[in-house]
Amino acid sequence: MSGFAAILIALLIIAPGIAGAAPKIGCTASGYENVTACQAKNILEEEDVFLLDVRTPAEYSYSHIEGATLIPLKNVPAHDPVNLPDDQLLPNRMKELPKDKNTKIVVYCYTGKRGGIASQMIADAGYKRVYNIQGNIQGQGGLIEWVNAGYPVVIDSAKWSANYPHYV
């Protein structure tokens, strides 16, 4: 019986440490959390949330989530032929993010990849509550997942159908 008690005590001591070391689902060790469109929508229904679109100006003009602030992460010639100068891109516009580093920031792009890069950059700048609309098991995230979930967007229907015919 004493061997059993020793094992039980060891499990009671070790198990909580192991459980506490496991990351939360959707979290990264990098300081931001990947979320689904549904989770992002719930976060956006709260007060004092900063919604950041990191796509190009052309992509933003096709469609965007209402209330989003556009600060492009980088130039993407495949999506926008206009080459923005470096001072108009996120790495040089971080001062436009909320001053309070505890403000919730929801980041999105077209598929979730640029959003992940931007989210890491924002977390590295000391922001504590950064959420990237990463996506689903098919690898779709960002605005694609938002639209596929049926959530509203501000849209220029002519530009959208010309550029994204498979999502019309």
The set of residues, in sequence order, having a beta carbon less than 8 Å from that of 58 and lying 6+ positions away, is 79, 80, 81, 82
- Token look-up 């956006």 returns 44
Q: How far apart are CA 167 and CA 155, in angstroms?
A: 12
Q: What is the pLDDT of residues 70-105, one digit of tens each?
A: 999 999 999 899 999 999 999 999 999 999 999 999
- Token look-up 């939360």 returns 24
- Token look-up 């499990």 returns 11
Predicted TM-score (pTM) above 0.75? yes
Q: What is the pLDDT of residues 28-61, one digit of tens each?
A: 556 899 999 999 999 999 999 999 999 999 999 9
